[in-house]
Amino acid sequence: MLYLRLAPEQLTCNKEKIFWTLAFFKDGCAAKWSKNLFRQEADTGIFPIQSWTDFEQQFRSQFFLVNAEADAINTLEGSLYYQGNRTVNDYLDSFLILASDAGYTDPWTLVVKFCHGLKLNVQSQITTMPFGRPADTDPEAWYTAAQRIDQARLANEAFQSTLCPCSTNPFLCTPLSSSSSAFHSTKTPSTSTYTIQWNTHGCRHSPENALFTSVRLLLVRRGQPSCEGLPLLFGHLEVNYGAKGGID
């Protein structure tokens, strides 16, 4: 259809327009309808559609809903149009189409329907905004506010995905306790010698990095907020590398 508008001089005959359009009906119900038209032509010797206006009317009767407005209204009265796992942008696109088909133009009605379909956390953030809360008769402001909140969520998720997850560092998933299988430290009262046992299985850090991480967290556990004692502490460590790359 867009091509016919952009280059009307290319297809000047009604039959050319119809046949060119039918060439794209290759799958599903559209392909069956196209084949049926050519079958009628083969049986009668006359193509059943002679004008572009007639083609448009028959196309709408075949593929458009009998009552698109009633169908859209019924959808908006239920919960099938809710956002669900979609982004706000995807939800907004489908909502605007439904609202247009339903003939909804009242701003308050649009806000109510849009708000009902939003995820609860997005809806709550907008309705509890201390400043700049959109008016209940301003659907455009509601659309913008919901999009901003969702974009901030997506940006935060993208940032979090760049961090080292627990699945790649078993030490972060293991409680700091003397019974931990991933980490164990002992300190004798008379010396400052630490014995560190670290299992690097499943961890992408090198043994040296794993050692640094374990010592740093050991200091935090002992109540030291910084790593100022690291150089001295390293001087007392005796490290034995296991046969599989672990630290014994």
User: Which of 161, 194, 223 is the endpoint of a domain?
Assistant: 161
Asked whether the predicted pLDDT for residue 139 surpasses 90, the reply is: yes
- φ/ψ (deg, to 5) at 241: -85, 130
Domain that holds residue 180: 168-234
In-domain check, residue 242: no
Looking at 4-13, 70-79, 105-114, 144-153, which range is the least confident one?
4-13
In-domain check, residue 243: no
Per the structure, the count of domains in the chain is 3
The span from the CA of 155 to the CA of 145, in Å, is 15
Pick from 42-51, 67-76, 146-155 the range whose average pLDDT is largest.
146-155
Report the predicted TM-score, pTM, of the whole model to 2 decimal places: 0.49
**C-alpha radius of gyration, the chain, whole number:** 34
User: Which of 161, 183, 213 is the endpoint of a domain?
Assistant: 161
196, 183 Cβ separation under 8 angstroms: yes
Higher per-residue pLDDT: 163 or 105: 105
For 166-207, the pLDDT digits (tens) are 555 555 555 544 444 444 444 444 444 444 444 444 444 444
User: Which of 136, 161, 186 is the endpoint of a domain?
Assistant: 161
